[in-house]
Amino acid sequence: MADKPPVFIIGSPRSGTTVLRLILNRHPSLAICGETRFFADIYKRRRVFGSLEDIKNRRRLVEQYLSTARIRRLGVDLQGLKEQLLREATSYPALFTGILRYYAASQGKKRFGEKTPHHAFYADTLCAWYPGAAIIHLVRDPRDVVASLQRTRWAPDSILNNTSMWLLFNRAARRLQNYRGYLLVHYETLVTQPEQELARICAHLEEECAPATLLAAEPVDGPYSFPRHASGPLTTERLHKWQEQLTAQEVSLIEWVAARDMQTYGYSRSAGSVSIAAVARGLAAAALDPLRRQLEQSPYTWCRLTQPTNLAAQEYWKYRNVWDTVFPGLRAKE
């Protein structure tokens, strides 16, 4: 029997993609590895690294990529992975596939997959590389997403910019809505009707479903520490937190920007019309926030310009102020 196509989880950050990954990774036939950000960090810069048919280019890229915390936290034998990639990763699709296959093999499974929210913008490439791939688009109420992003150190510090993030990621993912392998999953349904929703997901993946196994709160794979709500039992306690964490004006701003898409996904508006003053303040904050972030990220920008292939150094400068939040328990390699 031919191997089944891979599984990819995409959606906006803070939509529960980590929770769904951990659940599906418990399936005896599925190995869904954590974020690789392969397309943004590697494929988008393939001209810098050059053709991987050249062993020198391949060695340089493999050594650099495997030195990053993002790959180290996958919890696999890096030396074994390096040797395999040096032998087989003669193209960028082969490099990506090699990492995912090695992760799956480390768990004794054949069917591989991955979750990186940012890969929503490259979902068409994923489908071209892996015909028949399953694309699970996880969507969550934008008010809960924005409330969470506002309290996340690596995210923008602006209601409008965080709402725009929700819009952009979900619109990118929804471009595949007519693709046969596409499946839309609502976070709210997943946590309120987990057995029913997991049965629907497994049916889409053409896999048997054992809810008791998938919902077991077992220790997670690898050395990476996950938040309690991500690695523990599936819970409804994080539903509608926006009602406690956002002001009425903030809610009205979110609903003003995301009104059409909220309707598309079945989320009802709760606030009245947004005031001109609230819009003005929101636009001012949205304009200032990128300038602040650009200033904070200037060392990273400089490093990327002057050391374009030094991935570990770029990672350090990009996340240095939020390292323990993004990569808890892992040391940076400057």
Q: What is the pLDDT of residues 235-259, one digit of tens each?
A: 777 788 899 999 888 999 999 999 9
Q: Which helix (H) or strand (E) holds 186?
A: strand 182-186
List the beta bridge partners of residue 11. Answer: 138
CA angle 223/225/226 to nearest 5° reads 135
pLDDT of 230 strictly over 80 = no
Q: Residues 40, 41, 45, 49: what is their CA dihedral angle, to the nearest 10 degrees?
A: -160
Tell me the pLDDT of the chain averaged across its residues. Answer: 90
> Among residues of the chain, what percentage have pLDDT more than 70?
93
pLDDT of 224 strictly over 70 = no
**Using an 8 Å Cβ cutoff, are 200 and 138 in contact?**
no
Using CA atoms, how far apart are residues 12 and 29, in angstroms rounded to an integer?
A: 26
pLDDT of amino acid 179: 94
Q: Is the pTM of this model over 0.85?
A: yes
**Using an 8 Å Cβ cutoff, are 20 and 234 in contact?**
no
At 9, is the secondary structure helix, strand, or coil? Answer: strand
Using CA atoms, how far apart are residues 316 and 89, in angstroms rounded to an integer?
A: 26
Residues with Cβ within 8 Å of residue 13, at least 6 apart in sequence: 117, 145, 149, 152, 155, 165, 169
Model confidence over 174-194: pLDDT tens digits?
999 999 999 999 999 999 999
pLDDT of amino acid 156: 81
pLDDT of amino acid 221: 43
Each domain of the chain, given as residue ranges in start order, spans 7-243
Residues with Cβ within 8 Å of residue 255, at least 6 apart in sequence: 143, 262, 269, 270, 271, 274
Residues with Cβ within 8 Å of residue 232, at least 6 apart in sequence: 217
Q: What backbone torsions phi and psi does residue 136 show, to the nearest 5 degrees?
A: -100, 115
Using CA atoms, how far apart are residues 148 and 126, in angstroms rounded to an integer?
A: 28
Residue with tokens 């200032």: 288
**Using an 8 Å Cβ cutoff, are 172 and 123 in contact?**
yes
Average pLDDT over residues 204-218: 84
At 220, is the pLDDT very low, low, confident or very high (cuts 50, 70, 90)?
very low
pLDDT of 227 strictly over 70 = no
Model confidence over 272-310: pLDDT tens digits?
677 777 777 777 777 878 788 888 889 999 999 999 999
Among 69, 62, 236, 48, smallest CA distance to 141 is for: 236
Model confidence over 42-97: pLDDT tens digits?
999 999 999 999 999 999 999 999 999 999 999 999 999 999 999 999 999 999 99
Among 209, 172, 228, smallest CA distance to 8 is for: 172
**Using an 8 Å Cβ cutoff, are 156 and 149 in contact?**
yes
Average pLDDT over residues 206-226: 66
CATH number for the segment(s) 7-243: 3.40.50.300
pLDDT of amino acid 168: 96
**Using an 8 Å Cβ cutoff, are 155 and 13 in contact?**
yes
Model confidence over 110-169: pLDDT tens digits?
999 999 999 999 999 999 999 999 999 999 999 999 999 998 888 888 899 999 999 999
pLDDT of amino acid 255: 93
Using CA atoms, how far apart are residues 124 and 130, in angstroms rounded to an integer?
A: 10
The DSSP annotation for 56-97 comes to HHHHHHHHHHHTSHHHHTT-S-HHHHHHHHHHH--SHHHHHH
Exposed, middle or buried: residue 253 (CB in 10 Å: 0-12, 13-18, 19+)?
A: buried
Q: What token pair was written down for 63?
A: 């050594």
